[in-house]
Amino acid sequence: MKKERDSLDQGSTPLFTALMEHARRRPLQFHIPGHKAGTGADPEFREFLGDAAFSIDLINIAPLDDLHHPEGAIRDAQRLAAAAFGADHTFFSVQGTSGAIMTMIMAVCGPGDKILVPRNVHKSVMSAIILSGAHPIFMPPEIDERIGIAHGVSVSTVKTMLNWHPDARAVLVINPTYYGVVADLRAIVALAHDRDIPVLVDEAHGAHIHFHEDLPISAMDAGADMAATSVHKLGGSLTQSSVLNVRQGRVDPRHVQAVLSMLTTTSTSYLLLASLDTARRQLAVRGRELIARALDLAREARDRINQIEGLYCFGEDGLKGSAAVAYDPLKLTVCVKDLGITGYDAEQILRERFGIEVELSDLYNILCIVSPGDGEEEMRALVEALEALAAEFHHQIGQYPVEVKTPVMPLLAMTPREAFYAETDTVSLQDSVGRIFAEMLMVYPPGIPILVPGEIVTEASLEYIREHMNAGLPVQGTDDPEVRRVKVVRRPVEELLRI
């Protein structure tokens, strides 16, 4: 396989090239999309987007291959991607990493199968668990109490859970987390593989990490079996395009293809697919050089931010134990709590007064992402805005000591699927205490559920929810968008737990 990998030309783009050649030939199109290379589209939109984009917004006609059964340009593009990411097989996803995560889980777990997952997983993991009927065994992540963020799971947690659940069908971990922190993935993979259990990795935030030695280890390099990777996040492709990387052995790539196909639209966007093909070329050919420059900018910005009184941006000093062994310097998590404001306040001020949009905010922090798309000017603007923000609230430093609250890990009384499909009552949020939640509730972003179907609602969960709502953070996921009334399982907890 290595020989084949080395013989591939990473400078080529089989799919993008095929699309451009096809567009140049201008065949008479009697197929969808009905905009027919843009001529039938809304003129203003067409002019804005440009004819080039419309000309390759095509579908799976024979010369352009088919994502559901690739045997031409898409197959070649996926092979190049596999070689670039260090995988045995790569599948393109036009449904983001959410689609790739659902595929990973549904390819290995069926109804009742146990899967070990950190409690701070993205909602797509919970969606897959509901759809597959798998039984999640939640692992508590390590929490950084100073800034209120969850890291990965420690090696000892995984070891304990594997001892308690040797019949688990899979272990899923997040590498890196949204905030860029990774656990000791090699050790976790070794533990799971000792028991011949596959390791699935949510690598949504790690599309770039394989391409520079100063970045944390990637899932494929650590020997994981599958990794769902958002190329659109930090790999340079268009939004919604991701890859699913697979290592041959514990999982059958043909089954992965079949499941991916079950979950994927038949009208796959060739714009998204072409953007994956070209992003792979850029990462493989120039990734190291581009990332090196972004790393320099991010390191300098981090140093400058840490010189601003009232702000703190963790680096090496934030790492502790096997759940946080390395971090991605391109993630700038700026803790603003000492200024007596929330991360959400900071996000809004940066938006309204400085024209800066951050990636996300939480109660205590804002998260800013640096990429090869940034330059010195952008970094200067960010640091200067943060200096101005800190100066404005300087008088509040030390005035409002903030007690950092971390999410609670509720008790799971029934599987998420059972709860999701159970008979339910709709009650006020307050009256849900002591009942089994039948919906998913999260702050988005980052999309980590506060409650999942099957969990018993406690006063602590409600307090956590209210605090986020009061701060203006986007709490969502329930049928009622205002989260005033929520669905709980009709059967009482006592009956289910037999207590």
Which of 132, 154, 229, 230 touches ligand PLP (CB under 6 A)? 230
**Smallest gap, in angstroms, from Cβ of residue 114 to ligand PLP?**
21
Residue 178 contacts ligand PLP per CB under 6 A: yes
For ligand PLP, the closer of residues 101 and 305 by Cβ is: 101
Residue nearest to ligand PLP (CB): 96
Our finding on whether 97 is near ligand PLP (CB under 6 A) is: yes
DSSP 3-state assignment of 448? strand
- From 95-103, 111-119, 162-170, 474-482, span contacting ligand PLP (CB under 6 A): 95-103
By CB under 6 A, tell whether 242 contacts ligand PLP: yes
Cis peptide before 445 (omega within 30 of 0): yes
The CB-of-182 to ligand PLP minimum distance in angstroms stands at 12
Separation of alpha carbons 418 and 422, rounded Å: 6
Q: How far is the CB of 289 from ligand PLP (least distance, A)?
A: 26
Pick from 447, 449, 453, 454 the residue near ligand PLP by CB under 6 A. 447
Q: How far apart are CA 202 and CA 116, in angstroms?
A: 13
Listing from the earlier edge strand, what are the strands of the sheet with 365-369? 312-313, 331-335, 365-369, 360-361
Q: What's the distance, CA 417 to chain centroid?
A: 22
From the list 446, 449, 453, 477, which residue makes contact with ligand PLP (rule: CB under 6 A)? 446
216 binds ligand PLP (CB under 6 A): no
Residue 318 or 446 with smaller CB distance to ligand PLP:
446
Nearest CA among 1, 312, 293 for reference residue 149: 312
Closest approach, Cβ 121 to ligand PLP, in A, equals 7
Is 202 a binding residue for ligand PLP by CB under 6 A? The answer is: yes
Is the bond leading into 446 cis (omega within 30 degrees of zero)? Answer: yes
Q: Minimum Å distance from CB 100 to ligand PLP?
A: 8
Cα–Cα distances in Å, from 207 out to 30, 128, 202, 212, 219?
38, 22, 11, 11, 10
- For the segment 102-131, give every residue that binds ligand PLP (CB under 6 A): 122, 124
Q: Are 483 and 476 in contact (CB under 8 A)?
A: yes
Q: Is 369 in the site for ligand PLP (CB under 6 A)?
A: no
98 binds ligand PLP (CB under 6 A): yes
* 93 three-class SS: strand
Least CB distance to ligand PLP at residue 196 (A): 26
Structure token pair of residue 469 = 């709502």
Peptide bond into 111 cis (omega under 30): no
Choose among 227, 232, 241: nearest CA to 174.
Answer: 227
Give the binding site for ligand PLP (CB under 6 A): 96-98, 101, 122, 124, 174, 178, 202, 204, 230, 242, 446-447
